[in-house]
Chains A and B, each alone.
Chain A
Amino acid sequence: MKNKISIKITTERLNMQVCYDLVNDDSSGGIALFVGTVRNITEGKTVNRLDFSSHESMAEKEIKKIALQTFKKYDIIKIAIHHALGELQIGDIPVIIAVSSAHRAAAFDACQYTIDTLKQTVPIWKKEHFDDGEVWVNAHP
């Protein structure tokens, strides 16, 4: 399982080609990539930048759990889950999920499951910075 799962939480810029290459495999018939990007508007307000922070050691464990669950649920070959931390500008990439599988449905489904679960369980937080202040996303019910 070791070379089938790539997990990275980093302050460096994420790289789509790296994720693609990590999951590319002779036995794969398709690769699904989900690339998150920093949006310029939230609820009508202009976003200047985002700050991502994390409980890093726990986040790695939670991402690993997701990867293992994804292998159990879907017939996939390899998965890469990379998340950026630190300050990101509009258009930057906070997250990349790459999944390879023999047949496309599994790659699409696994990609969706992974990003949806990551957003629910992995201890990573983003703070949005506006002209008139800042907000921790999801912090208030």
Chain B
Amino acid sequence: MKIRILFFGIAKDIVGHNNIIFDLDGIKTIGQFQVFLKEKYVDLKDINSFAFAVNEVYVTSDHQIKADDIIAVIPPVSGG
């Protein structure tokens, strides 16, 4: 299952791209995706404090990932 991932803020700096398509075979939930990302990019060590959005809506770690979803990796926000 190929999924497009968007990176913002410090996550974009660490990963070096603002979007990447990953093959997420075997990854079913956002929680599992979080573990996958942390292993792939060790500098995302603070990722436990990150939020995730699927198709522009915040989701929790038990959210099931579907084909054609777009996942956004959302570091702690600092607008205003």
Interface positions of A (Cβ within 8 A of B): 36, 52-55, 57-59, 61, 83, 94-95, 115, 118-127, 136-141
The one of B6, B8, B46 in contact with A125, judged by C-beta atoms closer than 8 angstroms, is B8
The one of A53, A58, A94, A123 in contact with B80, judged by C-beta atoms closer than 8 angstroms, is A94
> Do residues A139 and B8 form an inter-chain contact, with CB atoms below 8 A?
no
> Do residues A125 and B13 form an inter-chain contact, with CB atoms below 8 A?
no
Chain A residues, CB < 8 A from B49: 141
Q: For B10, B13, B57, B72, which residue has the most chain A Cβ atoms within 10 angstroms? A: B10
Dominant SS among interface residues on chain A: mixed
| Cβ contacts B29-69/A at 8 Å (1 or 0 each) | 00000000000000000100100010011100000000000
> Do residues A138 and B6 form an inter-chain contact, with CB atoms below 8 A?
no
> Do residues A61 and B56 form an inter-chain contact, with CB atoms below 8 A?
yes
The one of B46, B56, B79 in contact with A57, judged by C-beta atoms closer than 8 angstroms, is B56
> Do residues A36 and B74 form an inter-chain contact, with CB atoms below 8 A?
no
> Do residues B75 and A125 form an inter-chain contact, with CB atoms below 8 A?
yes
